[in-house]
Amino acid sequence: MDNKAIVIGAGIVGLATARALAMQGYQVTVVERSHRATGASVRNFGMVWPVGQPDGALYERAMLSRSIWKTICDEAGIWYEPAGSLHLAYAADEWAVINEYADKTSTERQCRVLSAQEATEHSSAIVRDGLVGALWSPHEMIVDPREAIAAIPGWLQEKWGVEFVWGTAVTAIQYPAVYAGNRQFMADQVFICSGADFETLYPEIFSAAPITKCKLQMMRLAAQPDNWRIGPSLCGGLSLTHYKGFSSAASLGALKERYQREYPDHIKWGIHVMVSQNGAGEITAGDSHEYGGTHDPFDRQFINQLVLDYLKGFARFKDETITETWNGIYPKLTNGEEHFIVSPEDGVTIINGLGGAGMTLSFGLCDQYIRGEGV
């Protein structure tokens, strides 16, 4: 008989863990407190984003995740677009960072530097005025997180026999028993993948951990008329200072100093600006980063306006009507690490702390961990 595993949480980390366990022969049950995933896993750009990861294990993990995403989407009939990305430069210091990044990574990552003319040939959404050039990366992939996270459970159930128990909050673990009120589940292995809801189970573990919560604000723009597409996902210069993949650029420090002087509010609220487009033609724009244990549940309009003002400097769209705004909250490690995996007792494992890279790294991380590779 197959070993039994219970996964708590049906966000991206829980789904990635369930897939990896099922592939290793486990009989998997996923228990989710809501009737569908509603957390950070559906409140993001849908970007699978290798370009933002530093060389070595994290970049390789991102590329593994990308390949897993592609396989799942192909098998499950989930829309995706391997559109690549463009980081746009409108100043000499941004251009210097882009060129230094390309010099260090072009062989492994197949990135290349584009002139202003070449960049605009990739996307008609780009603002041409003042454009110096861009960094082109071919590996970034877009999914619609709302569609994808909702569809993957059905694929896991059909292909791997994973059982999902929705609308059921796990309240206690006394290994090998998992309790949801009066209901009891038994398992050989228990995996807690509950994202920002880390106070409910093993709260003492999290209170001692270097972990906080990040609130982000995002917006969705209307489906573009006449099936107009922006092409690659687009990023402004502020994104160069956000992702660790660019940390090897010698000019990055000077760029950060200029941004501190010229964009103090953007820096204060952790704003860097990116846009992606889903299969329906809608454009997702954002975002901001506020850190703390408890967040105001309300959006701050001035943050959205800061995002929109900066966005207009590098991208314009056929229809710029804002149809939705929202915020999301995800766990973030404060010690610079990229994930938090601990075993509070034999047979129980917590997987958490992927920060804003959950869509990019979860499938690779969980695949590697469950297969016994060092992570």
Tens-place pLDDT, residues 285-328: 999 999 999 999 999 999 999 999 999 999 999 999 999 999 99
The two tokens of residue 268 are 């204060």
Instruction: Tell me how far apart the alpha carbons of residues 100 and 118 are, in angstroms, rounded to a whole number.
Output: 19
How does 254-281 read in b/e, with b if 16+ C-beta sit within 10 Å?
A: ebeeebeeebeebbebbbbbbbbbbeeb
Q: Is 232 exposed, middle or buried (0-12, 13-18, 19+ CB in 10 A)?
A: buried
Instruction: State the pLDDT confidence band at 108, using cuts at 50, 70 and 90.
Output: confident
Instruction: State the pLDDT confidence band at 357, using cuts at 50, 70 and 90.
Output: very high
Q: For residue 224, what is the DSSP state?
A: P
pLDDT at 375: 83
190-243 pLDDT tens trace: 999 999 888 889 999 999 999 999 999 999 999 999 999 999 999 999 999 999
**Structural domains of the chain, with CATH:** 4-45+146-209+337-370 (3.50.50.60), 85-138+211-333 (3.30.9.10)
325-339 pLDDT tens trace: 999 999 999 999 999
- Please state, rounded to an integer, the average pLDDT across all residues of the chain: 96
Instruction: Tell me how far apart the alpha carbons of residues 207 and 85 are, in angstroms, rounded to a whole number.
Output: 38
29-71 pLDDT tens trace: 999 999 999 999 999 999 999 999 999 999 999 999 999 999 9
Q: Reply yes or no on whether the pLDDT at 21 is more than 80.
A: yes
Instruction: State the pLDDT confidence band at 121, using cuts at 50, 70 and 90.
Output: very high
Q: Reply yes or no on whether the pLDDT at 1 is more than 50.
A: no
Instruction: Tell me how far apart the alpha carbons of residues 181 and 163 are, in angstroms, rounded to a whole number.
Output: 19
pTM: 0.96
Q: Reply yes or no on whether the pLDDT at 85 is more than 70.
A: yes
182-196 pLDDT tens trace: 999 999 999 999 998
Instruction: State the pLDDT confidence band at 105, using cuts at 50, 70 and 90.
Output: confident
pLDDT at 183: 95
